[in-house]
Amino acid sequence: MIRRNIQLNEQGRLRHFLTTEGLKRQMLVDILDTAESLSGVTDQSVKKVPLLRGKTIVNLFFEASTRTRTTFELAAKRLSADVLNLNIAASATKKGETLLDTLHNLQAMHCDMFVVRHADSGAAHFIANHVAPHISVINAGDGSHAHPTQAMLDMFTIRRVKGEFYPLKVAIVGDILNSRVARSQIHALTTLGVTEVRVIAPKTLIPKDVETLGVHVYHDLDEGLNDVDVIIMLRLQNERMQGELLPSEHEYFQLYGLTQERLKSAKSDAIVMHPGPINRGVEIESSVADGPRSVILQQVTHGIAVRMAVMSTCLSSHADRGAA
């Protein structure tokens, strides 16, 4: 028996968005196209569309976040949904209530979607397996596993600037081992058909068997950046590191920090990206982060439209169930 993708409903449409892994190319393209159609909402005098009017979306952030939580909240409000931000630090889970009890109580309040960030890998999948049929779950980052909406806003930014994916060579630089963003980016980039994905990092920050994901591994930054079209810099995930994986941040910058000089190794029109937050002088120098090749702030802007697209796509899939 073929195991159905938990992210899809019985009609094969997106119900949850937990990972970019295992989704077909057309589904990712549809999200990007929907985000494109919604990107103009920000320019309207009334920055709202009624797509999710009457829906209630709960932000369940068990880990601290500013950029991701804020853009999800803005995205939901621009879709005309009601938004509940649950303060986990003051919630009943701190008083001994189990996660499932918390979920069941929220379901009893007729919520429609949970946006989940959690320190444990697999937490969003666990929640998706235990919610009521009418509820969708979006993974806003789980441990070092996945961050699919960040990957999709990165794909949207790349497509906006570069057009087609197939001729591109993309380099992902930094803490590949502990980065949930890197995994989601790799799956999305390969599914969308780029020519090559490179990962560049010291050996201690490269996962075992990463080549099975279809990437090429480099340990020398200049060599890895040679002739690439897109450079994605990653933050050092110090909070997830176990043991002494790096001698020092200073030495890391000397070897893997993106400077104006090192940027010359890439194509002359290569763009520089970073999912944030940026550690200036650790993974990237300020003149590059703020320079003309940087699209880092565009990534933040595009995050709202992409998250609007994902939320509206997931919740529209429930119409299938109702019509069945």
What would the pLDDT profile of 247-260 be if each residue is shown by its tens digit?
688 889 999 999 99
Highest mean pLDDT among 39-48, 64-73, 132-141, 312-321: 132-141
Of 5, 312, 47, 307, the residue nearest 154 (C-alpha): 307
The mean pLDDT of 233-243, rounded to a whole number, is 71
Percentage of residues in the chain having pLDDT higher than 90: 74
Segment 163-216, tens digit of pLDDT: 999 999 999 999 999 899 999 999 999 999 999 999 999 999 999 989 999 999
Q: Provide the sign of the torsion angle of the four alpha carbons 104, 105, 111, 117, taken in this order.
A: negative
pTM, two decimals, is 0.93
The residues, any chain, with a CB within 8 Å of residue 123's CB and separated by 6 or more, are: 62, 116, 142, 143
Homologous superfamily of the 25-146+301-316 domain (CATH): Aspartate/ornithine carbamoyltransferase (3.40.50.1370)
Cβ-based neighbour number of residue 58 at 10 Å: 21
Length of the chain: 324
Listing DSSP states for 289-322 in one string gives: HTSTTB-HHHHHHHHHHHHHHHHHHHHHTHHHHH
Distance (Å, whole) CA 29 – CA 193:
11
Quick one: pLDDT at residue 47?
86
What's the chain's average pLDDT?
90
More confidently predicted of 108 and 157:
157
The CA-CA-CA angle for residues 282, 204, 219, to 5°, reads: 75
Pairwise CA distance, residues 257 & 272, whole Å: 12
Mean pLDDT value of segment 85-91: 68
34 with 149: CB under 8 angstroms?
no
Q: What angle do CA 271, 275, 184 make, to 5 degrees?
A: 100
**Distance separating alpha carbons of residues 2 and 78, to the nearest angstrom:** 38
Higher pLDDT among residues 3 and 245, named by residue: 245
Compute the average pLDDT of residues 51-69: 91
- Ranges of each domain in the chain: 25-146+301-316, 148-296
**CA torsion sign, 258 to 259 to 261 to 263?**
positive
Alpha helices in 196-272 (DSSP H): 221-225, 249-256, 260-263
| Architecture of the domain spanning 148-296 | 3-Layer(aba) Sandwich (3.40)
What pLDDT is attached to residue 322? 47
Domains 25-146+301-316 and 148-296 in one fold: yes
Beta-bridge partner residues of 61: 117
d(Cα 200, Cα 222) in Å, to the nearest integer? 10
